[in-house]
Amino acid sequence: MKSKRKTVGNKEAEKVLPVSKPSYSKWTVKNVIAVGIVLLLLKAGMILQPTYEWICFTMLPENMAIVRAYPNLNYDGRMTIKLGANYTYLKNTREHTPEDAVILWPSSSAFTKEKSPFTAEVSNKIYALRFLYPRKLVIPFDFGKSHYAKEITHVAIVNGEGFEYVPYEVEKFENGILPVEKLKK
C-alpha cells in the first residue's frame, strides 16, 4: 500500500529535531581512561622486561651525553668513542673485504685473551654481522654444519690467532684480515 504522506513538502518531515551538541566531557573521560590504560601497560612492560628500563635510563642517556659532548663528530667518530677497539676492528674488516666476502671469524677465546683491547660482544656472530652485512661470517663451530664453510674468502686475525687457516706464509701481526688466496703483486 502506498503511503499518503509525501516526504517532500510534508510539514512534519520538515520539522528538524533540535541538534544536540557533542558531549566533550564524555570524549575527554574516554581519552583519559585510554591514556591511563596505555601508561599502565607501558609501566608493566618495563617491570616485566628489564631491557626497556636499561634502554630508557642507561643507553639513551649515555648516547645523548656523547652526542652533546661531541656535536660535530660523524657516526664513525661517535661509534669509536662508544665501542672502542670493537668498532675500529669491525670498520677495518668492512673496508678491506668485498661485500660478497665469506669471513672466517675467530672464536670468543681469541677476542677475550688477557690484555685484549676487545670486549666479548665482538665475538658474537650476530653482533659482528650488524656492522659487516652483507658479508657472511663463519665461526670454527660452523665447520661441517654451514655450507658457507666451504666458501671462505677471508680470515680474520685477532690477537695473533687465525694464521693456521691461511694457506700461505705471511708475516705475523696482531689484528687484521687476510684473503684466503694470496694476492698477486
DSSP E strands in the chain: the ranges are 102-104, 136-138, 154-157, 176-179
For the stretch 48-89, pLDDT in tens is 887 888 888 888 998 898 889 888 989 888 888 888 899 999
Radius of gyration in angstroms for the set of CA atoms belonging to the chain, rounded to a whole number: 32
Contact yes or no for 158/178 (Cβ under 8 A): no
For the stretch 123-177, pLDDT in tens is 898 999 999 999 999 988 877 788 888 889 999 999 988 888 888 888 999 999 9
Could you say which DSSP state residue 144 is in?
Answer: T
Q: Give the C-alpha separation, 180 to 136, whole Å.
A: 15
Which DSSP string do the residues of 80-124 spell out, in sequence order?
HHHHTHHHHHHHHHHHTS-TT-EEEPPPHHHHTSTT-S--GGGGS
Tally the residues of the chain.
185
Q: Which of 9-13, 68-72, 76-80, 90-94 bottoms out in mean pLDDT, i.e. has the lowest?
A: 9-13
Q: How many CB atoms lie within 10 A of CB 131?
A: 17
Per-domain residue ranges of the chain: 25-69, 76-179
Q: Give the C-alpha separation, 151 to 167, whole Å.
A: 14
